[in-house]
Amino acid sequence: MKDLHLSWVSAALIAALGTTASAYTVSGTVKDDAGQAIANADVTLVKENKSTKTDTDGAFTIHEDEAVEPPPDAIAASAAPGYISINSGILSFSQSGNTPVSVRIFDLMGNEVFKQKLYGSGQVDLTSGVKAKGTYFAQVAVGSAKQTIRFNASGSYGAAFSESGHALLKEVQPGETLRVIADGFDTLSVPLGTLDTTLALTLTKTAPPEPTFKFGYALKNEPTPSKGCGTTSKLQKTRSVENGDRFELRVGSENREYFLTLPKNYDNKKPYKLLFAMHCMGSNAEDFVHHNPDQDHPSPYYGQQKLDTEGNYIFVSPRGDTDGMPWSTSSDKDHKFIDQLLTTLEENYCIDTSRVFMTGFSFGAMVTNSMAQDMQDRLRAVAVYATADYNIYLPKNKGLPIAWMAVHGKNDGTCQYNRARDSALKRILKNNGKADADGNFTDASAEKPKEVGGSGHLCYDFTTVDERFPVKFCSWNGQHQWTAFDNGNWQNTWVPEEVHKFFEQF
């Protein structure tokens, strides 16, 4: 650059540096999670309002060489005459006023490597202020007028300048952000502290929107947190028992009993799945919280707690009616109890309301089937062992589907196998057929299950049902017992694992 002689300092500085100043260079690459380049992505410096697109290699550059216009009052300022020029990294100056020439040099990482104020007249070799070979930036300022110069140094170092502190390489506008937008990917926003930088950016593919349905949820849907998420339970236990706590709930004019087991390290911000364990005749609610092992109680909650190795479930065991039968055979009192209990639990604990399950054996299976008649909007799936369609209150069926699994011994002399197959199963299938174009579920009751022929067991998955509401029917060559097994005895039961897999598909 040739020398310039100007009579106004601020104007002189701008004129002298304007043709050589480099404002900034932001560059980098944009790739996906697999490391593949993303072409034609929009890359924008939001505050600077500068944009570009990535090339076929995913590379981009936003570069600006600019001259700063003098402030409106530059020519009118009453400043002393001066002389400033820069040629091949040599700053020449002659300044007789009171405003010094400020020189600062930064490396490419934004570290300030020297800082100096110059008065009077003289020359400064900018390269003598740096130790290492490379590219640097010098910021030269007089008053409010300033500009940045990029230069290369050979690595010589003179004592004329001293190192002092660290600062951002480039003065950026507060909140400056590099924004990257590409079709099929989540928008990425990267805050910037300097405008001279190189970035390696990765975009995440946008998850498709979760489908919505006339009724029910998608398979593997996101959790739906209950009202109790983020709150502390207000429920007061009546006593603690092994593996849980006992509570009472006032329903109408009765106090109803239930037991609750929370996962270890319960977190009130994490939505948990909820499993109801409905007891059979000859048992009570507490038996399914803790019990000495036998064929009816091999482990808590029908073996499901043992399989919950990650602590994703809350378990509850409600006690049935007290009129001589485990559960009401003539009224909806148990339905009111379970409906109120579920609401109470969802208000006091963090529950995934889209993953509430119920299971039971014999009378517990009967009441579970009863709940499946009119609680399809609150129960995601049920599993019944040796169920029957008699000796239990059955409300009017709402005509809505529910995921359903059954296990039944072909030689069951207490709850007839044929009645479970031809009545309970068919009633479920009638509502669970694949949805039509209007979202209404069709009748799948014409499909017949395959059944075990000899020893062992056979689980049949129905093919004409909606995939969101699967139906599984397991037959085995046994009697009235929920711990079905193929070899050995009840300790070898395959039922808990099959039921756990059935629930975990949602």
Instruction: Determine the pLDDT at residue 436.
Output: 94
pLDDT of residue 398: 96
**Class of residue 448 by CB neighbours under 10 A (exposed 0-12, middle 13-18, buried 19+):** middle
User: What pLDDT score was predicted for residue 86?
Assistant: 64
Q: SS3 for 395?
A: coil
Structure tokens at 84: 């400033």
Residue labelled with tokens 């006023």:
97
The H or E element that residue 273 is part of is: strand 272-278
Whole-Å CA distances, 187 to 44, 87, 173, 183, 285: 11, 44, 21, 9, 51
Phi, psi of 56 (to 5 degrees): -65, -20
pLDDT of residue 160: 37
Query: Would you place residue 84 in the very low, low, confident or very high pLDDT band (cuts 50, 70, 90)?
Result: low
Mean pLDDT computed over 56-71: 72
> Which pLDDT does position 298 carry in this prediction?
83
Residue that is written with structure tokens 């067991």 in the block: 457
Task: Please state which of the four CATH numbers 3.20.20.100, 3.20.20.80, 3.65.10.10, 2.60.40.3080 is assigned to the domain occupying 5-153.
Answer: 2.60.40.3080
Helices (H), 315-409: 333-348, 363-374
Start-to-end CA distance of the chain, whole Å, equals 72
Q: How far apart, in whole angstroms, are the C-alpha atoms of residue 407 and residue 429?
A: 16
What dotted CATH number matches 239-504?
3.40.50.1820
The structure tokens listed for 357 are: 């399950």
Pair 299, 305: CB distance under 8 Å: yes
Between these two residues, 234 and 127, which has the higher pLDDT value? Answer: 234
Residue 155 has pLDDT above 90, yes or no: no
pLDDT above 70 (res 344): yes
pLDDT digits (tens, 9 = 90+) for 350-395: 999 999 999 999 999 999 999 999 999 999 999 999 999 888 999 9
The token pair that represents 26 in the structure block = 């932001």
Residue 109 banded pLDDT, cuts 50, 70, 90? confident
The pLDDT of residue 161 is 34
Mean pLDDT of 4-9: 32
Overall average pLDDT of the 214-230 stretch: 96
Boundaries of every domain in the chain:
5-153, 239-504
Whole-number pLDDT of residue 60: 97
Q: Is a pLDDT exceeding 80 seen at residue 153?
A: no
| The pLDDT value given to residue 277 | 98
What integer pLDDT is reported at residue 80 of this predicted model?
39
pLDDT tens digits for 40-52?
A: 999 999 999 999 9
Q: What is the pLDDT of residues 392-411, one digit of tens each?
A: 999 999 999 999 999 999 99
3-class SS of residue 417 = helix
Summarised one tens digit per residue, pLDDT across range 166-209 is: 223 346 788 899 999 999 999 999 999 878 789 999 999 998 88
Rounded Cα–Cα distance for residues 24 and 99 (Å): 27
Q: 3-state SS string over 175-220?
A: CCEEEEECCCECCEEEECCCCCEEEEEEECECCCCCCCCCCCCCCC
Average pLDDT of span 415-419: 96
List for the chain the helix, strand, coil content (%; round to 5): 15, 35, 50
Question: What's the chain's average pLDDT?
Answer: 85
Report percent pLDDT > 70 for the chain: 84
Strand partners, 197: 26
Tokens of 39: 């072409």
